[in-house]
Structure 1
């Protein structure tokens, strides 16, 4: 399979740590170039730097995003209309309106899309979901507690500091609970996304789950946890060192080259955004 030429939009810490090396290492993708609002940051990523985003589009067949959600929503529309496949970060946008617009343009243009929901590409997670399907699940819980909004943490970026855990880690947690217990049909939320927010999720088929999200922790904190309980047993997500990035790149390349879509596409990202928007409407947000 010919490597997919991918242009990268964004040059922040996560782009430097994950996206750029993932796309550059191959063999399924190659990093065709970078565009960022700060060219000096883009120059560190070891690929051609483009002054105009349209020039990046001309140099690639697909575009990966590592920018704030509002920027992804805006430039994702432009990339889709330029006919480029999209490798999208979570959340899809900063607002439900933006997510609907981006997903609508994707549907209109028919470009391939895939969401970087990193948990879903890890081997341990896939084994966990296989186990969930075997135990006839009726409930589960998840907790994601960190200090990533505190001090000089590299991910304490303006949009995260404004919107908190619900918009940042919420997509990961909601997505995985939905995959484990069935599509989510309802959500109830309480708390404050900037400190602690709790979710009660209702799933198709009658299962229920609970999630606790926090990015304002201090001191020694536990790793994220997921557990699902069923009539035939229990499934617990292991804590391992799976690196999902190679799998993300390979699956994206196959989505681009072979067609047929990907289950974690922009339409899936929109469904997650709808759940988050409903939860945000029930708790204190700016």
Structure 2
């Protein structure tokens, strides 16, 4: 599979480009970015050309790996699908339901494969854990804490300068990660209630189709000493916890790309494809509405 990279920021530079260059099942073809000089520099670091013309890159690849802000990703993903390219998408797929719908519709219409790179969904220990808990069923409640310190005093995170994270906060940055694990285990969301915590912190209560409920604590402004993630399920089979992540995002991206290749070869949509990405956006938009109104919102 010939694959191109769209994006030149820290996420593209630190994770996507090295993985695309290393992956044995891919031919890393080139890089496109909104700043041509940055695309050339990142491409040169991995022995591939930088492209100033996006359409030219799309014509020369079978797939694209997108590492761009969600406000930019949606339109370019549609454009890539129209060119017949399979899509490795970042989360969230978009920041509005119409934009996310456009991506999902383009994937269906042009019959391309899509995978949304929720890092935890592609974790080495997390994949079998999620599958096992979904198979067991009988869960009563779930609890998920995603407390990041990207914007905390003393943070050296390379993502602190990300304009969309500054604007949209934890709900849209780490909220998708929590939902990507809870939904396949507890079932689709039917209602969401949101309450604001300190700074960008948001607390969600989610009602799931199977009758279970879950609570989420999401933040990018937790003090450095208080940051961390965790998930716990309680039900008929007792109490279980999501295994801690013992690897970086690169290993997970390798698995996500393998999933994209398999979906492209089989023609079978991946469970973490554009339709699932759309569903996550719908729930997050509902949570925003709940924050604004103080009411429980049907999603």
Same fold (TM over 0.5): yes
Runs of at least 5 residues in structure 1 that lack an aligned partner in the other structure = none
8 Å Cα contact 1:146-1:217 kept in structure 2: yes
Q: Distance in 2 between matches of 1:210 and 1:158?
A: 27
| Cα deviation digits, residues 235-269 of structure 1 (max 9, x gap) | 10121313322211211111222321211110110
8 Å Cα contact 1:87-1:113 kept in structure 2: yes
Match of 1:178 among 171, 179, 183: 183
Poorly superposed stretches of 4+, deviation over 6 Å:
none
- Secondary structure of 2:15 counterpart: helix
Q: Distance in 1 between matches of 2:56 and 2:84?
A: 14
8 Å Cα contact 2:137-2:185 kept in structure 1: no
Q: Distance in 2 between matches of 1:107 and 1:268?
A: 13
| Cα deviation digits, residues 86-139 of structure 1 (max 9, x gap) | 110000112112111221222222211111011011122123224423262111
Q: What is the TM-score normalised by the length of structure 1?
A: 0.93
Q: Distance in 2 between matches of 1:276 and 1:145?
A: 17
Q: What is the TM-score normalised by the length of structure 2?
A: 0.89
- Secondary structure of 1:67 counterpart: coil
Q: CA deviation at 1:152?
A: 5.2
2:296 maps to what in 1?
Answer: none
Q: CA deviation at 1:154?
A: 1.2
**How many residue pairs were aligned?**
282
1:153 maps to what in 2?
Answer: 157
Of 238-247 and 212-221, deviating more is: 238-247
Structure 2 vs 1, CA of residues 193 and 104 (structure 1 numbering), >3 Å: closer, same or farther? farther
Q: CA RMSD in A?
A: 1.8
Q: Distance in 1 between matches of 2:292 and 2:101?
A: 23
Runs of at least 5 residues in structure 2 that lack an aligned partner in the other structure = 294-299
1:245 maps to what in 2?
Answer: 253
1:1-286 equivalence runs, <5 A:
4-42=1-39, 43-45=41-43, 46=46, 47-132=48-133, 133-134=135-136, 136-150=138-152, 153-156=157-160, 157-191=162-196, 194-242=199-247, 243-284=251-292
